[in-house]
Structures are given as C-alpha cells and as structure tokens.
Amino acid sequence: MDTFLVIINIAIMLVFIGVLIGMQRKYVSFSKRVFTGLGLGILLGAFLQLVYSADSEIVSSTTDWYNIVGRGYVRLLMVIVIPLVMVSIIQSIINLEKSSELGKMSAWLIGILVTTAMIAAVVGITSSTIFNLNADQIEMGQAEEERGLALEERLGSLEGMTTPQKILEFIPSNIFLDMTGERATSVIAVVIFSILVGVAVLGVRRKQPEQAAKFVEIVNAIYAVVMRMVTIILRLAPYGIMGLMANTVAQTNVAGIIELGKFVGASYVALLIMFAIHLILLAIFGLNPFLYVRKVLPVLSFAFTSRSSAGTIPLTIQVQKESLGVHSGTANMAASFGATIGQNGCAGIYPAMLAVMIAPSQGIDPLSPSFLISLVLIIGISSFGVAGVGGGATFAALIVLSSMNLPVALAGLLITVEPLIDMGRTALNVNDSILSGTLTSKIMKKLNIAKYNDKEAVNKDIAL
C-alpha cells in the first residue's frame, strides 16, 4: 500500500512538471515559470504534510524521489561553479583595460561585503533585544542535546586557529583539491588562483604577445562553452525550485516552529530589515531599488529553496550581467567572493543573535558596550571563509561563539527550525553578493545604467 501511495505522489510531481514544460513551450517568461514552480512546490509539500505527516515513511520515500529533481538540479549547478568561476575571472582580467582596476574592484567588493556583515550583526543584536530572546527560554530535548555535543566536537577541529592562520587558509596549496570544493575556503582559493593566471597572462602579453593571444583565444572559446552550459542548466530552475520547495514544506517540523516561533519571527524580522538596508544603499547610489527587486527575485527564490549560496553562483553572475548591467569582471568576482565572504544572514545576523541569547546564561550583559563592540568586530573578521552551502551558518556561529568565550552547545537548541531560517539567510547572502557587484560597478563607473533601467532586461538569455 505504501509503495502505491509513493507512486501516486510521484505521478502528481510528473503532472506538475508537465505544466511547467507546457509553459516553457508557450514561451512564458522565465520569472513567471520560476514563481509557478515555487507555488506548485508549496502545494505539493503541503499536500504531503496534510495527508501524511512530516516524519512518515511515505513522505520519506516520496521526498527521496523528489530529490532527483530538486537536489539533482543543485548538483548540476554545483558542478559548473568551479569551471565558471575560473574561466570567468581569468577572462575578465585579461579583458581589463588597466591592471590597476583589479585591486580597486577587489577592495570595493570585499569592503562592501564585510561592512554589510557588520551592519547585519547590529541588526541581529537589535532584533534579539527587541524580542527579548534568551537561551534559557528554550527547552533542551534529546535531539538538541545530541546536536550540542556534535557542535562541541566540531569546534575541536576549529579551536586554536588565530586570525592570520584563518587568512592563510584562503591561499591554495593544491588547486586540484580546491577544485573539488573540499575546504570551506575552496571557492576563494580558486578565485586567487584564477587571478594569478589572469595577471600572468597580462605579463605575457607585454613580452610575448603572440603566446598571450593564443591563450586568450582558448580562454574565450572555453568561456563561451561554459556559459552555454550555464544557460542550459539554468533553464531547469523552475523544476529544481519546485522539487526543493516540495521537500522543504513536506518535511517541515510544524510543532518545532510553533515552539520556537519567537526566534523564527525575530530572525525573519532581522532578515527583512537587512534586505531593506540593501535597498536603501541602492537608492543612496542613485539606483531604482524597486526595479532591482523585480530583476533579482527569481534568483533569490532559488537561493531561498536551495539553501546554497555556492550553488546559486551561476544565477548570481547571470542576473548581474544580463539584467542589472553589471560589468562582467565585477559580476564574476562579486558572485565568487560573496559565496564565502561577508554573508549577511549566515555570518552576520545568525551568530549575533545566538551570542546575545546565550550571553545571559553565562552572567554576561549582552548590551554592555565592550561585549557589543567585540561581537561586531569578531563577526566582521570571521565573515571570511564561511562555506556557501548548508551548514555555513553553523560554522560561523562556532567561530563567533568560541571567540566570545560562549558555550557552543546551546546553539543546538535551534535544530528544529534551522532549515526554515537557513532559507531566508541564504536569500539574504545572495542578495548581498548581487548588491556588492552592482554598487562596485557603479562606483567604478562601469555599470550599464541603460540596461539596469531596462524593465525588459529580466533574464532574457534564460527565457529563450
């Protein structure tokens, strides 16, 4: 009987896939197909949640099959991330008019990412204080206790690393290892290697122009092929979003959300406030924030459902170049840096909220100036090298809490609502990447204002 019900659930998914295929054949815009996929995923997940239960065997078996569509799409995106980052950055550098632009671009990107992370920490602190969050208010069950012990074990592998040692982790020693994404800082390591290759080509161009020309021709050819692969994969976004959202809704622990509703509410208030700050920054620089939102929403929808900043890199690059008019080199660097540096949700808001919640249990006044200043500075420094995949926030929290001499085990109290909050955090992280690229391009006078203001320039290439 269970097998029959699973087959019915799979059949429903196939029908919904057929609906999206029909929309694509009728040339319905990419954005509309993305939001249709999101809506169908919510309906499908709600159906499974209501008819069965989140922890039933039928839902478990069904979501395994749905993962082929959802997680399968994320895997396709992840497989293209490293080739895309490498080729895009090399191609961007060899096409720079002045090599000095590289340093300015990198400085502005990193500066914006880290500064916004520190602002996000202040927002997280404020939200925790207003909602009067306290770790003592949350009961610890067996699952939370096990999670706390696991966090303490993980901390053991991170303790003892000084800030210079953490920075040293960015520098690649085996580029082939980093191309596998083995380390939390792998993407940054690949970026550094790609920059080194690009700068080397600029040097060869001055002394051996013929050799450089051959290499540039090869890079441009590879870039064209990689970007075509990206376009092919991105066309599957509506299906991937549907599968991811269906599984998320179906497996959501409603009881846990109700129990920790106060923390969930405080988290999303902080996330929304920080998103509003992003839009205010755009307005300050003379850019239309409402037009920006319309163009980036499909990308943020995928980030929300996938919970992977790294997996969203191809979309992040595409929306900056094709919809917002960001300079190609800036878009590539912003997406790559933003996946591991200054993540506003995971490295900014979340650790700050946890620190404020946990501090009173250790007899520390979370509103004392010394505590607040130390917390914001530590978050700014530790926002380097946060993995752009699920679990990155936990990594950031471990670093921040241990640096503040706070017990990390109490972070396990939030295990039941972690996926739900992580969705919003990831969307904010990705928006910060896009924001940094857009503002940097504007500051360096390389932003195509006409394309930014073009209401029709919304993922045109993907919609074809």
31: domain CATH number?
Answer: 1.10.3860.10
Domain count, the chain: 1
- Other CB atoms closer than 10 Å to residue 118's CB: what's the count? 22
- Reading phi first (left if > 0) and then psi (alpha if -120 to 50, else beta), residue 239 is in alpha
pLDDT for the residue 464: 39
pLDDT for the residue 21: 92
pLDDT for the residue 285: 94
| Distance in angstroms (rounded) separating the CA atoms of residues 11 and 66 | 11
pLDDT for the residue 463: 41
Cα dihedral 43/47/49/53 (nearest 10): -160
Spell out the per-residue pLDDT of the chain, length 464, in tens: 678 888 898 999 999 999 999 998 988 887 788 889 889 998 998 898 888 877 788 888 898 999 999 888 888 888 887 888 888 888 878 876 566 677 888 899 999 999 999 999 999 999 999 988 887 655 554 454 555 555 555 555 455 556 676 667 777 888 888 887 777 667 778 888 888 898 888 888 888 888 988 998 998 898 889 888 888 888 888 898 899 888 888 887 776 666 677 888 899 999 999 999 999 999 999 999 999 999 999 899 888 887 788 778 888 988 998 899 998 888 888 888 887 788 898 889 988 998 888 888 888 888 899 999 999 998 888 777 665 444 566 777 777 877 788 877 666 666 667 778 888 998 999 999 999 999 999 999 989 999 999 887 765 544 43
Domain that holds residue 146: 2-463
With a threshold of 0.85, does the pTM exceed it? no
Kindly report the three-state secondary structure assignment for every residue of the chain.
CHHHHHHHHHHHHHHHHHHHHHHHHCCCCHHHHHHHHHHHHHHHHHHHHHHCCCCCHHHHHHHHHHHHHHHHHHHHHHHHHHHHHHHHHHHHHHCCCCCHHHHHHHHHHHHHHHHHHHHHHHHHHHHHHHCCCCHHHCCCCHHHHHHHHHHHHHHHCCCCCCHHHHHHCCCCCCHHHHCCCCCCCHHHHHHHHHHHHHHHHHHHHHHCHHHHHHHHHHHHHHHHHHHHHHHHHHCCHHHHHHHHHHHHHHCCCHHHHHHCHHHHHHHHHHHHHHHHHHHHHHHHCCCCHHHHHHHHHHHHHHHHHHCCCCCCHHHHHHHHHHCCCCCHHHHHHHHHHHCCECCHHHHHHHHHHHHHHHHHHHCCCCCCHHHHHHHHHHHHHHCECCCCCCCHHHHHHHHHHHHCCCCCHHHHHHCCCHHHHHHHHHHHHHHHHHHHHHHHHHHCCCCCHHHHHCCCCCCHHHHC
pLDDT for the residue 461: 44
pLDDT for the residue 142: 47
